[in-house]
Structure 1
Amino acid sequence: MLKTLKFLAYTVAAAVIVVLIVTLLTPVQNGWRYLIHGGLNYPGRLGPLNDEELRWAKIAWRYFQNNTQPSTGLVNAQDNYPNTSPWQIGDTLVALTAARQLGLMEQQEFDQRLSKILTTLNRLPLTPPGVPNLLYDTVKGTPITPDHQPYPTGWAVRDIARLMLGLHMAASYSPEYASFIEKVILRWNFCSIVTPDGQLQNAHAQQKQWRKQVESDVGFGSYSTSVFELWGFRPAPMEKIPFKNAIINGIQIAFSAEDPRVSGVPVVVESTPYLLDGLEFSWKFPAPTGATVSLQYQRAQAIYQVQESRWQLDKLLTARADFARTEAPWLVHGSIFANGYPWNTLADDGTYRPDLALLSTRAIFGLWVLWDTPFTDALMQLGRWHNDEQRGWFEGRYENGGGHNRAFSLTTNAMVLESLFYKSNYGALIRKSPETGYLDAQMKDVFNWPNHCLPQERAHLPKAGGQ
């Protein structure tokens, strides 16, 4: 009996010692994991998700579960509203990759979802120039106008870039699907998107013609440039995008030199493109020169610092981004600077709406994960409550009075998932150039080129593109 008791005592003591050793070594193990994954190279909050953060990810994924159309695999841009854009299809692919990597679904579900989307994309009706349309019906997968009429209306470079990024990310983390993904790119005609001198062009239908304009937004233009470089294009350097500087609280904020009175389009500076550039490229990849890297980083730092300064000086928590609403105006630009004024809030038609200034959920998550500071801690103290467990994360909280904007959008929930994926991934989500694959193999036969002004064609045919 005594021997038995001694044996049990030794066993318990040994178990306690093992637990203590594991407990003591856990920070060391986490530290090694941090270093192995390149934590020193990337800013912000890095490491495994805790229980609360994993719950946040599950809430964001709920939006996609609720809004996926089984006929196409596409996801509604807003809760229960059946349209989407190439930008939001890109968001969907990013969210799908993040959800799989975070363990929110099994491989079988991932395969079913991705396969359905790729099937739709490989059949997606394009505009007459061979470019994805601005909007699509998520049930039918057909081009539509903003008022849901069945006509193509044009394209936006930033939207196409976002879709290209989502496709690249899916191929990077799930390379077994790469050939199907590259077939999507091979369908598109880039001759109208990228001019011979590398300018990126938007277009809209006007009197049965396509009116084209060079992308002039400093933030989204720079982001689009990075994505096109990722796929092998050589767009004009982002330093060539004409810009001016505004001074807000002593901080320089770059904005487009376009005159909104002439173009009819608001000139808006908001957080989103700078946050995505940080999450995906850490503001330095795949930029070709150190000067470009520095400029990307400097502008992103300014976007962060100016919002932090408003909190420090005016005691106003600030996280600005575009957002959706459940009533008119349906889309609002929550800006750092817009149409000549700081902290301007504009309806999509350019109407001044200071009453709608919003503490944006999507901006909160991006700022929080990229900058580990007391300011972003304060943002998340409120932002963590911007959700409904059955529907996802809603758009945010109004600065005027603190009421909730309970519109639910695909882009906001994708940003939540991407931000948490960045943390779990120990930094930038895109770290390498695409490997040679199906697209390169198809382009080896110069006699069967599609004449779509793809990078390989441009290298051999200097006159190709934009003609």
Structure 2
Amino acid sequence: MMSLACIWANVCRLATAARAAAIALIAASLIGGCGVVVRGVQDSYNGLANSDWFWHGRHGDLTEEQRQWLATAWRYVANNTHPTTGLVGAIDGYPVFTMANVAEYLAALHTAKQFEQVGAKEFDERLSLLLDFLNTMALVDGVLPNRSYHTASGQMVDAAAQPGIVGWSAIDLGRLLIWLNLYRRHYPSFAEYIDKVVLRWDFCRLLDGRGQLTRGEYRDGGWLPVQEGRLGYEEYAAYGYYLWGQMPTLADRFEPYERRQFYQVPLLVDGRDPRVDRVIDPLLPTPYWYAGMEFNWDRWDQLDDDDDTDYGRLDLARQAHSLYLVQERRWRRDALYTARAEHILSEAPHFVYDAVFGLGSPFPTLDAQGQFHNEAALVSTKAAFMMWVLWDTEYTDALMGVMRHLYDPERGWYEGRKERTAGYDQSLTLATNAAVLQSMLYKQQGKLFRAPPPMSRLQRVLGDEFIHPGRCQPVLEFSSR
């Protein structure tokens, strides 16, 4: 089996367009990072960072222009859906996707259904094709999804679209678990088929005994679980495991961390030393903002709470707000539009972390090897839309003023605007267009997790002593509430 280093070497030999797509896919799967992180947090924010009223998002019916934004984002999905398999590529014109991309597709399809961008029959066809794939796709060691698959064949591939098994990602699967659980709630007639998807997986290889997320790495002739995760994405992915009855307790903690302050805004950053632990440590806002749109920063077991001013995970909410506020203050004090996220680029290095903090520096742009590319920073379309719906402020109004036209009406939304020159990066991805769709749904209805879970086949299987699949399976003990 190929190591990640071998995969990177093969990617570097690809043609330019293919290489850009391949690097983006691999790097996106590495957002979780490596190294053991033991976390614990003390609440000591003050002033505006503690003001609940500030966190109220931008809510209300969509305007005609905003409905056009919605339609443009869905066009990416329509254009990149394989006509036979129904699978959607991660990058425009490139036939590879990850399990995180499946979650993005589910988010896009759910939004399109809610806004009647797709009718009942098209929704049924799309979801049925996807569930059929998830229930029949080849698995690593027969127990967990590979990192990436091919949209045309549905077979396991590496990020360069070549046949290959590259292991699994607990971070990617955590996000997919979130969206599969949301579909159980909103579309209970499909709950049986969704449960069958998850019952195929071996959760003992996704979580160790301490509740730490683990990815699959090929060593000594077999696939071994190795710690995966980074501040932000671990806590967000933990929601998915909790929702299916697992206990990702270590992944859910803010440890170890350091306190930093930029523009008089307090932030928690990864406490590992990259020189010692040999990991890069970009602090990215997107996982905290997904947690806001999807859960309103509630605890996983408090999702029935409809009070949008009450946050069961105040630590996540404060960090999310601080990550917004430090970007607003950079705009006010340095006259720099700022909307940071991980994203692909149309030119080398093809994928970067546009971070708020990383490798000891504020606002670095880092590639997957930890090299600086600050000249490649973007004002991210994905981040701009998320900020705009989560914070109704003068800054997000100004930000949307320079981002609202970054699209091709026939292809979808571009990745972003170059921070230094104002030029467009015209790359198109499922991640960005799904984020635009999801943001519009959040504006319309607030937090996305509201519907209670249904009873379904999962309870039937787990409650039968003769057909119970074993201890490494989901539990959903709370689902009968």
With the length of structure 2 as denominator, give the TM-score of the two structures: 0.83
Secondary structure (helix, strand or coil) at the match of 2:370 reads coil
Within the alignment, does 1:379 sit opposite 2:399 as a pair?
yes
**Counterpart residue type for residue 234 of structure 1:** M
CA contact (8 A) 2:331 2:337 kept: yes
Give 1:253 deviation, angstroms.
1.9
Distance change in 2, residues 1:186/1:46 (3 Å):
same
Alignment partner, residue 256 of structure 2: 242
Task: Indicate the residue corresponding to 1:138 in structure 2.
Answer: 151
Structure 2 counterpart of 1:34 = none
**Residue from 448, 461, 465 that aligns with 1:446:** 465
TM superposition shift of 1:331: 1.1
1:422 counterpart residue number: 442
Over residues 175-205 of structure 1, what are the superposed CA-to-partner deviations in whole Å (9 max), with x where a residue is unaligned? 2111111111111111110122322212222
Residue 360 of structure 1: how far off its partner (Å) = 0.1
- Runs of 4+ in structure 1 off by over 4 angstroms are 287-292
Task: Indicate if the aligned counterparts of 2:384 and 2:396 stay in contact, CA closer than 8 A.
Answer: yes
Distance 1:47 1:263 in 2: 46
Q: What is the match of residue 26 of structure 2? A: none
State the match for 1:401 in structure 2.
421
RMSD between aligned alpha carbons?
Answer: 2.2
Match of 1:337 in 2: 357
Q: Name which one, 1 or 2, has greater alpha-carbon Rg.
A: 1
Distance 1:258 1:150, change over 3 A: farther
Match of 2:289 among 275, 297, 304: 275
Q: In structure 2, the residue corresponding to 1:447 is in which secondary structure?
A: coil
Q: Distance in 1 between matches of 2:120 and 2:83?
A: 18
Cα distance in structure 2, aligned partners of 1:372 and 1:240: 28
Distance 1:397 1:41 in 2: 27
- Write the letter of the residue equivalent to 1:402: A
Structure 1 residues 26-37: aligned runs within 5 Å: none
Judge conservation of contact 1:321–1:335 (CA < 8 Å) in 2. Answer: yes
Aligned partner letter, 1:309: R
- The verdict on how the C-alpha distance between 1:406 and 1:454 changes in structure 2, with shifts beyond 3 A counting, is same
User: Is the 8 Å Cα contact of residues 211 and 248 (structure 2) preserved in structure 1?
Assistant: yes
Q: Which residue of 1 aligns with 2:319?
A: 299
In the alignment, is the contact (CA less than 8 A) between 1:73 and 1:113 conserved in 2?
yes
SS of aligned partner of 1:154:
coil
Query: Structure 1 340/159 Cα, relative in aligned 2: closer, same or farther at 3 Å?
Result: same
Question: Is 1:355 equivalent to 2:375 in the alignment?
Answer: yes
The one-letter code sitting in structure 1 at the alignment partner of 2:100 is: W
Q: Give the aligned partner of residue 53 of structure 1.
A: 66
Q: Aligned equivalents of 1:214 and 1:312: distance in 2?
A: 39
1:431 CA drift (Å): 2.2
2:280 and 2:370 in contact (8 A); partners too: yes
Residue 445 of structure 1, CA deviation: 1.0
| 3-state SS, counterpart of residue 136 of structure 2 | coil
1:449 partner amino acid: H
Letter in 2 for 1:307: Q
Deviates more, 1:447-456 or 1:312-321: 447-456
Q: What is the 5 A alignment of 1:175-186?
A: 175-186=188-199
Equivalent-residue separation in structure 2 for 1:97 and 1:148 (angstroms): 28
Q: Pick from 290, 306, 328: which aligns with 2:348? A: 328
2:81, 2:372 → 1: CA distance? 34
| RCO higher in structure (CA 8 A, sep ≥6) | 2
SS of 1:446 mapped into structure 2? coil
Give the alignment partner of residue 124 of structure 2, picking from 108, 111, 114.
111
Give the corresponding residue for 2:331: 311
Deviates more, 1:187-196 or 1:164-173: 164-173
Q: Residues 287 and 315 of structure 1: is their aligned pair in 2 closer, same or farther, counting only changes over 3 Å?
A: farther
Are residues 428 and 42 of structure 1, via their aligned partners in 2, closer, same or farther at CA, if it must alter by over 3 Å?
Answer: farther
Q: Which moved more, 1:442-451 or 1:290-299?
A: 290-299
* 1:78-227 map, 5 Å: 78-128=91-141, 130-227=143-240
Residues 392-422 of structure 1, C-alpha deviations (whole Å, 9 max, x = no match)? 0010001111111100000000000000011
Amino acid at match of 1:421: L
Give matches, 1:66-85, under 5 Å. Answer: 66-85=79-98
Match of 1:286 in 2: 300
Question: How far apart are the structure 1 equivalents of 2:336 and 2:354?
Answer: 14
Structure 1 residue 447, shift from structure 2 partner? 3.0
Structure 1 CA distance, aligned partners of 2:86 and 2:435? 19
Mark the CA change 1:149 to 1:156 in structure 2 (over 3 Å): closer, same or farther: same
**Cα offset for 1:49?**
0.9
Q: Shift of residue 317 of structure 1?
A: 1.0
Distance 1:228 1:41 in 2: 30
**CA deviation map 1:342-389 (0-9, x unaligned):** 100012222110110110000000000010000100110011011110
Q: Which stretch shifts more, 181-190 or 140-149?
A: 140-149
Report the Cα offset of residue 272 of structure 1: 1.1
| 1: CA distance, partners of 2:164 / 2:259 | 39
| Runs (5+) with no aligned partner, structure 1 | 1-39, 460-467
CA distance in 2, matches of 1:306, 1:287: 30
Which residue is equivalent to 2:57? 44
Deviation at 1:449, TM superposition (A): 2.0
Q: CA deviation digits over 1:120-159, x for unaligned, max 9?
A: 1111111116111111111111111122332211122220
Structure 1 451/205 Cα, relative in aligned 2: closer, same or farther at 3 Å?
same
The aligned counterpart of 1:251 is 265
For residues 317 and 453 of structure 1, do their structure 2 counterparts lie closer, same or farther at Cα, with a shift above 3 Å needed?
A: same
Gap change, CA 1:391 and 1:291, over 3 Å in 2: closer
Which stretch of the first structure deviates more once superposed, 446-455 or 98-107? 446-455
Bigger mean CA deviation after superposition, 246-255 or 216-225: 246-255
Q: What TM-score, normalized to structure 1?
A: 0.85
Conserved 8 A contact 1:239-1:292: no
SS of the residue corresponding to residue 136 of structure 1 reads strand
Please list the CA deviations of residues 10-37 of structure 1 after superposition, one character each: whole Å capped at 9, or x if unmatched.
xxxxxxxxxxxxxxxxxxxxxxxxxxxx
Aligned residues of 1:78 and 1:409 also touching (Cα < 8 A): yes
**Structure 2 counterpart of 1:19:** none
What secondary structure, in the 3-state scheme, does the structure 1 residue paired with 2:437 have?
A: helix
SS at match of 2:300: coil
Contact 1:49–1:424, Cα closer than 8 Å, also in 2: yes
Q: CA deviation at 1:307?
A: 0.7
Contiguous gaps of at least 5 residues in structure 2? 1-52, 304-309
Task: For residue 475 of structure 2, give the secondary structure of its aligned residue in structure 1.
Answer: helix
Distance in 2 between residues matched to 1:175 and 1:324, nearest whole Å: 36
Kindly state the Cα deviation for residue 264 of structure 1 after the two structures are TM-superposed.
4.2
TM-superposed deviation, 1:173: 2.0
Q: Between the two proteins, what is the percent identity of the paired residues?
A: 37
Length, aligned pairs only: 419
